[in-house]
Amino acid sequence: MISLVNWSWVFGLVGMFFAVLIYQWVAKQPPGTELMQKIEGYIFQGAMAFLKRQYSTLAIFVVIVFILLIIGINWQTAICFITGAACSMFAGFFGMRAATKGNSRTAWAANQSGIGKALIVSYFSGSVMGLSVASLGILGVGVWFLIFGGSAETAQYISGYAMGASSIALFARMGGGIYTKAADVGSDLVGKVEAGIPEDDPRNPGVIADNVGDNVGDIAGMGADIFESYVGSIIATIAIAATMAVTPEMMKLWPAGTKEWTVRYAHMAMPVLVVMGGL
């Protein structure tokens, strides 16, 4: 049973495969009228421009920390750090594409087929982000757990993966939230107060920025935050298991002749097995 943890990365790949299939299904749905497609295009371009600017800035920070980790700790932790950051970025990017593609398609489905079809389209467009977060999390943890094995040093090395995810989540969540609120307040002040345009009217350019902010903060930012929490909880449990004291009372629960390392490895593998079952 414990040996199944060596195949956890396969579960991650399968999850990403289904995420891609769902994304393709959402993209094939009718995008709506020409005006709906035009507004969706503006939101998509704005969201991608924000991510490009944010990720290019974060990449500099990630590279600097990567070098410092190599110098100050070890190269294994540094490699895990940069892969954790990269997986968090990719999850946000992929989820953002799916969500922006699903905007007009959900509205058109509601217009043509009612709330039932709209719910299906919106649910699947949002599930791309959820599947990406869970799949990339178990993929990264599973690969490094397989490479480094179940030794006590594994917890030290693999903690870099959680650190990389946390670094992206910190800036993505804060940056996206600030942008969202600034665009929201600005569009309301200019549109409703000064120009007398109804709220969320696409004639107000600030409304486009507001919708871009909603996607940036509530999808890319929230996704990075959830990815960090998901990965961090797994790796924290692995670290506790790797450093815990194996008492004689604990050894009595195992068959005679079981080594202390086997007991510790079993506890380290437990959180990975749990998330494999969840995925």
For residues 171 and 184, give the distance between their C-alpha atoms in angstroms, rounded to a whole number. 20
* pLDDT band of 279, cuts 50, 70, 90: confident
Judge contact between 151 and 181, C-beta under 8 A. Answer: no
Give alpha helix (H) positions in the chain.
Answer: 8-27, 34-72, 75-113, 115-148, 152-188, 205-215, 222-243, 248-251, 260-278
The pLDDT-based confidence of 64 (bands split at 50, 70, 90) is very high
Distance CA 162, CA 144 (A): 12
What does the pLDDT read at residue 198? 67
Task: Report yes or no: 196 and 116 within 8 Å, Cβ to Cβ.
Answer: no
pLDDT tens digit string along 242-273? 777 777 776 766 676 667 667 777 777 788 88
Closest by CA to 40, choosing from 83, 97, 94, is 97
Name the burial class of residue 233, with classes exposed (0-12), middle (13-18) and buried (19+) by CB atoms within 10 angstroms of its CB. middle
Q: What is the pLDDT of residues 13-24, one digit of tens each?
A: 998 899 999 989
The SS3 of residue 196 is coil
What's residue 168's pLDDT? 86
> 């599947």: which residue's tokens?
131
